[in-house]
């Protein structure tokens, strides 16, 4: 049973570089320490006891203390266009950072103040800098969220446009103009 195809059989795969689905046995087999990419050859190594749960039709459960995963290869996360789409549920806030995923930059976190935080690089006026986007609203523990973050660096104008969607609704957007 594949959760992604149950909800939407028309997944956009054009340009998709990395796709995991814990409910799909081609991506994850319960008890394994690897989660395989469904569109390429990458995989995630699961460390310190990451568990499989049937919650939300199949998901990976991290204990919030020391569980983590790392990809099999570091690849370019600073492209002109990027979209990150993931589902998660936090049971409790165990620290101020509460990282959901990170590659140094970009990263996404569910902070202890119950806001979502997306941080990424921008390239404005020839200078690379870190920019942060925060949700306008606060969110609760023990609720499943589908979060999509888009990052677009217009190569002609140099402007950087970032959006954060929560459960299909635009939560916040930011445009950083090239000065």
pLDDT one-digit tens code per residue, 109-168: 888 889 998 988 777 777 888 888 999 999 999 998 999 999 888 878 878 889 999 999
Q: What is the arithmetic mean of pLDDT over 65-92?
A: 74
Q: What is the arithmetic mean of pLDDT over 81-85?
A: 84
Place of tokens 């445009």: 175
Q: Give the chain's end-to-end CA distance (angstroms, integer).
A: 50
Please write the tens of the pLDDT for every residue from 35-51: 888 887 888 888 888 88
List, in order, residues 6 or more apart from 83 with CB less than 8 Å away.
Answer: 148, 149, 150, 151
**Of 113 and 10, more confident:** 113
**pLDDT value of residue 57:** 81
Please write the tens of the pLDDT for every residue from 84-118: 888 888 888 877 767 776 666 778 888 888 999 89
**Of 101 and 169, more confident:** 169
- What's this model's pTM, rounded to 2 decimal places? 0.72
Partner residues linked to 151 by β-bridges: 82, 162
**pLDDT value of residue 136:** 93
Q: Report CA-CA distances (Å) from 88 to 41, 93, 120.
A: 24, 14, 20
């Amino acid at each position: 049973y594949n959760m992604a195809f149950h909800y939407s059989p028309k997944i956009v795969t054009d340009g998709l570089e990395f796709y995991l689905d814990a409910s799909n046995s081609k991506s994850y087999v319960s008890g394994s320490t690897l989660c395989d990419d469904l569109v390429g050859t990458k995989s995630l190594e699961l460390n310190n006891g990451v568990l499989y749960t049937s919650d939300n039709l199949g998901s990976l459960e991290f204990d919030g203390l020391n569980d983590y995963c790392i990809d099999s290869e570091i690849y370019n996360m600073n492209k002109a266009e990027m979209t990150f789409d993931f589902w998660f549920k936090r049971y409790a806030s165990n620290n101020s950072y509460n990282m959901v995923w990170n590659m140094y930059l970009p990263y996404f976190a569910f902070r202890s103040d119950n806001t979502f935080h997306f941080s990424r690089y921008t390239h404005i006026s020839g200078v690379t800098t870190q920019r942060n986007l925060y949700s306008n609203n606060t969110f609760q523990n023990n609720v499943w969220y589908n979060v999509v973050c888009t990052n677009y660096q217009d190569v002609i104008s140099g402007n950087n446009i970032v959006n954060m969607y929560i459960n299909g609704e635009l939560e916040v957007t930011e445009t950083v103009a090239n000065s």
